[in-house]
Amino acid sequence: MAQLEGRVALVTGASRGIGAAIAKRFAAEGASVAVTARSVEPHETLPGTLLDTVDWIEEHGGEAVAIQADLSQPAAWPQIVARAREEIGEIDILVNNAAAAFYLPFTATSEKRFRIAYEINLHAPWNLAQLVYPGMRERGEGWILNISSATSHHPVGPPFDDFAQTSTLYGSTKAALERVTTGLAAALYDDNIHVNSMAPVAAVMTEGATALGVVPDEAVREAESLEAMAEAALALCSTTDPAMTGRITYCSPILAELGLPVRTLDGKETLEGPRADQAPRP
């Protein structure tokens, strides 16, 4: 039986990259998936749309619905959940993946960008969790996964490199998200709702990360694949282990800890490992 058969998942930021990969992997394991992002139309410079994600899922025999929404607008949060419930049912799994990744010096960071970063990266995950919690509590189980970043770590210095200076805003939102993760895990433990965060050890070379061009060379060399991120997300959103909650996890280490292989997004092939340049096993 597929690991997520009969489950309903909501994945934010799923037009491309990590969110799209997670949505596809979940659908391959039997979940009905609601995917949301700011636009369903092609981006000016980046490939991938919500409709592309839905089309891939449906072509592989799954069920998905695209919900256009701007997560920087609080009014959108209840609308997303209401639409998902109406289209595919009560939400069992919430993956907060959408993020505003501004890499700017302190002196060049506007109040508007500061607000948007916190609305999308922290306030939206908090409020979406509040909105899906009653249904999870009623059914006696649920899974919330917050996608974080290694930028939550405090920079090393002095001296400080350029990345340490430009990743302050993004990193601070992810550090706050990780603290929210452990707090929600404690608050929802008695309701059998698993709450975890997961991040790449260094980076995932998504379309967005490549376009930004701000990922340090060392992180590029250690980059993990979209397939690995999706597999780790699947593990954290299907676990029934009562001890597997409140974890601030990282992609390769959690896969190694659980002894799990990386599979293709359709679940049909096993890959050699978490690196993006590793090929399927013959």
User: Strand, coil or helix: what is 144?
Assistant: strand
Tokens 């060049």 sit on residue: 108
Phi, psi of 172 (to 5 degrees): -70, -35
Catalytic residue among 103, 133, 170, 250: 170
**Bridge partners (DSSP) listed for residue 3:** none
| Calpha distance 174→278 (Å, rounded) | 28
The reply to whether 250 belongs to the active site is no
- Name the pairing type of β-strands 262-263 and 270-271: antiparallel
| Calpha distance 271→53 (Å, rounded) | 22
Who contacts 188 (Cβ-Cβ below 8 Å, separation ≥6)? 133, 136, 137, 142, 144, 195
| Calpha distance 97→83 (Å, rounded) | 18
Per the CB < 8 A criterion, the answer to whether 21 and 33 are in contact is: no
Phi, psi of 15 (to 5 degrees): -80, -20
Closest by Cα among 80, 79, 103 to 173: 103
**Bridge partners (DSSP) listed for residue 146:** 96, 197
| Calpha distance 170→149 (Å, rounded) | 9
The residues carrying an active-site annotation are 170
